[in-house]
Structure 1
């Protein structure tokens, strides 16, 4: 089936007059990110363009309609067709609503996305909820993890390959001292630990961990 025919079939499946689950599973499951983006751009009755932040977002009214059409199927399909920025923004919002047991979602979004992807999620959050991720995290979370989570979700990390080994070794010593004195000050409240975890590149943090294991005598 040609892509234009697939596009028509998926659009029909989202018609609001009974959802064709088989078509959705078959076609959406094989589309790559560019094809899903093309679907969003070619269905303005389902998605609206945020011209300021440069992404396509689901129409909230249509999402509510789909919820009545297929409760069991809605979340997976809607999330799959979303722009990745919107998907992450909505996942963060839902995790904040559900509370501490879902805070792992915040860590996943903050630590597994590229700097541009995380920035995009923050832009989408602005567009969808008229708040920033940072202010909602700060206002919803009141435990000792708040400072670290705000810092992680605010980050825009360097993603190059250069690592200053002397700096990594120095920060490994800082981390070792913080862990040794965690009974006096929890790691989640240690500004230096938070700075290292929230601002350093992933390669730099790997180097810090390597030096920490050497300093602490822990196995590699």
Structure 2
């Protein structure tokens, strides 16, 4: 459920390209016009606007945006104008090879995407950066975290809702035996089940585990640590309720002193056209505050206007 609001009577992509060009001309950039146009166009329209801009002005719109905007608005806008797979590939590439290596960000993006999305991200990653995603993961990660990520992005999982209760019960039992029941942990079992099973199946395993032994999430927290734990929890929480997972990440980005804008931008921009309505509902339910109100108090200027346009009004 997207929160993107697109005007009922759209002007042509050519007209948008012309209006953007005008907003860039002269002294200083008319950022509010740029936000007004791009924050209210869907992925297809944004792609058409970029094609028109390239044709008319022999320049990439992204190049121009990069010159004209600054700070967090620039960061958010440059991600927003990308197509979803290009955006995810860029987020992961920056997290794995940017100035600051951010393995949690790379893990969050990959472990929260569907098998179909992951296949397209891998192809886009290679086309865009001339590198294999698997190679970058191998280079930057290690141990069980690495094994889990490589297995998770390497296996094309079933995406339907049907589950086999017999296999579900067996998986729950295997996880119990590999973790809470024994001294030490058999990580291989966790990696196999978490990377090979569909989301629906994993959610059913968590429910079955709960009935027999208690919380699977608690077991993961008790038996594993660090980035391996983070990856397992991301996979599990996104299998059970992705909107709740992202509401939590958004809360984390705005909690305490200062705002983690990179995290805030990543989630808002990448979930707006997927499930932001559900994320807003979960946020409201869990934190008794509207997501838009939280964003409003943590941001300012055109950056604030842009994010609020993406997440939509408080309802």
Which TM class, normalised by the smaller chain length?
0.7 to 0.9
Cα 1:16/1:83, change in 2 over 3 Å: farther
Matches within 5 A, 1:33-112: 33-44=43-54, 45=58, 62=63, 66-72=65-71, 73-97=73-97, 98-99=100-101, 102-112=102-112
> Does structure 1 retain, via aligned residues, the 8 Å contact 2:209–2:216?
no
Work out the CA distance in 2 between the residues paired with 1:108 and 1:140: 15
Unaligned runs of 5+ in 1: 48-57
Pairing 1:203–2:200 present:
yes
Paired with 1:40 and 1:116, the residues of 2 have a C-alpha distance of 25
The 1:215–1:71 alpha-carbon spacing in structure 2 relative to 1, beyond 3 Å, is: same
TM-score, with length taken from structure 1: 0.78
Alignment partner of 1:134: what SS? helix
- Tell me the CA shift for residue 135 of structure 1: 1.1
Q: 1:25 aligns with which of 16, 24, 35?
A: 35
Q: In structure 2, do the counterparts of structure 1 residues 42 and 17 end up closer, same or farther at CA, with 3 Å as the change threshold?
A: farther
Local SS of the residue matching 1:145: helix
Report the CA distance shift for 1:9/1:108 in structure 2 as closer, same or farther (over 3 A). same
Give the Cα separation in 1 of the matches to 2:141 and 2:176: 27
| Rounded Cα–Cα distance in structure 2 between residues aligned with 1:164 and 1:202 | 13
Identify the structure with bigger relative contact order (alpha carbons < 8 Å, sequence gap 6+): 2
Partner deviation per Cα, 1:29-69 (whole Å, 9 max, x = no partner): 1112221232233344455xxxxxxxxxx87xx3xx65443
Give the Cα separation in 1 of the matches to 2:67 and 2:182.
50
Q: Specify the alignment match of 1:191 in structure 2.
A: 188
Equivalent pair of 2:125/2:131 in contact (CA under 8 Å): yes
CA distance in 2, matches of 1:172, 1:69: 54
**Cα distance between partner residues in 1 of 2:159 and 2:51:** 30
1:18 positional shift: 4.8
**Aligned length in residues:** 201
Whole-Å Cα distance in 2 between the matches of residues 153 and 87 of structure 1?
17
Distance 2:188 2:122 in 1: 23
Aligned to 1:126: 126
Could you say what the CA RMSD is over the residues aligned between the two structures, in angstroms?
2.8
Distance 2:31 2:188 in 1: 50
- Is it true that 1:9 corresponds to 2:19 in the alignment? yes
Question: How many Å separate the matches in 2 of 1:219 and 1:120?
Answer: 30
